[in-house]
């Protein structure tokens, strides 16, 4: 069973289109940029145009000095015309991600990445996307056996925080140290490590649900961490592209609308 993220995202946009267009603008800062991060920013820009949201994309050089990046972020944070700021990850290795996120006004951090000084009562877009998929499937988390692969800032960490206390068992793994036998017992598998084919149908229960946040370009084609079954299957899964990506973008705009004037 393929879970169509575009259909779920459109339901979210229907609600946003009924609201007044925000007066403040949305800034997206891209430092260098991998093909997938450039694609993500482009999706956000197209969505902003469709929603009549003023959007400014700021492209910075891969070798930008850290202090210069911090200055750019602080400038946008202090601009009253800016309602939200996206700092697209990943950043180049020479940039300290903690310093960069700390340079953002936490009241404008709609990705909810700087949890050290979080001051917005918002849900991470990835956790929000997971919640939307589960709602669409009428999937009850209580008592379920859940495996989460990947412990990054964008996917693993916020989703782990969302799931704690809501499930029967929660197994947390990074991409090098997950056990395939645990997946065989999992009712829900969530992954976001960017390794195509990491999870295969034969590793899973026949009625498992896979929520795939992985996104990697191979030979110019985006692929997720889950290799879809070749034959019809009772496994429910989000495809790549067209799965979690559109929902994450929609949830980002939900956060923006929640805080702007």
CATH number, domain with residue 220? 3.40.50.720
Instruction: Tell me the pTM.
Output: 0.93
Place 120 in a pLDDT band, splitting at 50, 70 and 90.
low
Q: Which pLDDT value is given to residue 118?
A: 60
Query: Is 6 a member of any domain?
Result: no
Residue 85 sits in the same domain as residue 169: no
Q: In which domain, by residue range, is 139 found?
A: 125-246
Residue 154 has pLDDT above 70, yes or no: yes
From 76, 108, 140, the end of a domain falls on: 108
Whether 43 is covered by a domain: the verdict is yes
HSE on the CB side for 172, CA within 13 Å?
A: 13
Tokens of 115: 């949890």
Q: Are residues 130 and 231 part of one domain?
A: yes
What b/e readout covers 183-203, taking b as 16+ CB neighbours within 10 angstroms?
beebbbbbbbbbbbebbebeb
């Amino acid at each position: 069973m393929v879970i169509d993220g575009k259909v779920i995202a459109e339901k979210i946009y229907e609600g946003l289109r009924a609201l007044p267009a925000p007066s403040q603008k949305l800034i997206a800062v891209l430092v260098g940029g991998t093909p997938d991060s450039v694609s993500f920013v482009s999706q956000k820009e197209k969505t902003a145009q469709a929603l009549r949201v003023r959007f400014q994309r700021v492209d910075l050089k891969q070798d930008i000095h850290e202090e210069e990046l911090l200055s750019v972020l602080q400038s946008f944070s202090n601009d009253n015309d800016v309602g939200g700021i996206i700092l697209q990850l990943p950043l180049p290795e020479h940039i300290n991600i903690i310093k960069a996120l700390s340079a953002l006004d936490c009241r404008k951090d709609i990705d909810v990445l700087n949890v050290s000084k979080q001051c917005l009562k918002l849900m991470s877009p990835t956790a929000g996307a997971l919640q939307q998929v589960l709602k669409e499937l009428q999937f009850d988390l209580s008592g379920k056996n859940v495996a989460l692969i990947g412990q990054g800032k964008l996917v693993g960490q916020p989703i782990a925080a969302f799931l704690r206390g809501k499930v029967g068992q929660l197994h947390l793994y990074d991409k090098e140290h997950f056990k395939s036998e645990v997946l065989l017992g999992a009712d829900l598998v969530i992954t976001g490590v960017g390794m195509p084919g990491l999870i295969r149908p034969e590793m899973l229960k026949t009625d498992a649900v896979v929520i795939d946040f992985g996104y990697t370009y191979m030979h110019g084609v985006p692929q997720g961490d889950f290799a879809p079954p070749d034959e019809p299957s009772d496994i429910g899964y989000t495809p790549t592209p067209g799965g979690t990506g559109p929902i994450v973008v929609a949830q980002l705009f939900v956060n923006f609308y929640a805080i702007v004037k």
